[in-house]
Amino acid sequence: GENVEQHPSTLSVQEGDSAVIKCTYSDSASNYFPWYKQELGKGPQLIIDIRSNVGEKKDQRIAVTLNKTAKHFSLHITETQPEDSAVYFCAAYAGGTSYGKLTFGQGTILTVHP
């Protein structure tokens, strides 16, 4: 089955700096890659996603890049703010007929210091 590796496990940045989180996946058939933000006591919130026919996608301060050949994708957050502090998860569509069946990375604890 699909295996997703996520790095780093923790990331500490100063407010205003950029943050980058990287994931690799194993199944070359995977074609949907969402990113989630999870705040304490809450469920994961989808913040951005990318499909395999696209190399990059941006939404304001957040961007995701995908390299299908190398089987890795990355989350980029620019101009970080303290409210960006949370746990971030990458995921890959693991197969079957639905985008709901996801394999998750191990998570990255992002801390943005004021």
Partner 1 sequence: SAVISQKPSRDICQRGTSLTIQCQVDSQVTMMFWYRQQPGQSLTLIATANQGSEATYESGFVIDKFPISRPNLTFSTLTVSNMSPEDSSIYLCSVEPGTFGSGTRLTVV
100: left (phi over 0), alpha (psi -120 to 50) or beta: alpha
Cβ-contact 99, 2 below 8 angstroms: no
Give the nearest distance from C-beta 93 to partner 1 in angstroms: 9
Give the nearest distance from C-beta 64 to partner 1 in angstroms: 14
Interface residues toward partner 1, by CB under 8 A: 32, 34, 36, 41-46, 49, 89, 91, 94, 96, 98-107
Give the nearest distance from C-beta 99 to partner 1 in angstroms: 4
Q: Which is nearer to partner 1, 43 or 114 (CB)?
A: 43
Cβ-contact 29, 95 below 8 angstroms: yes
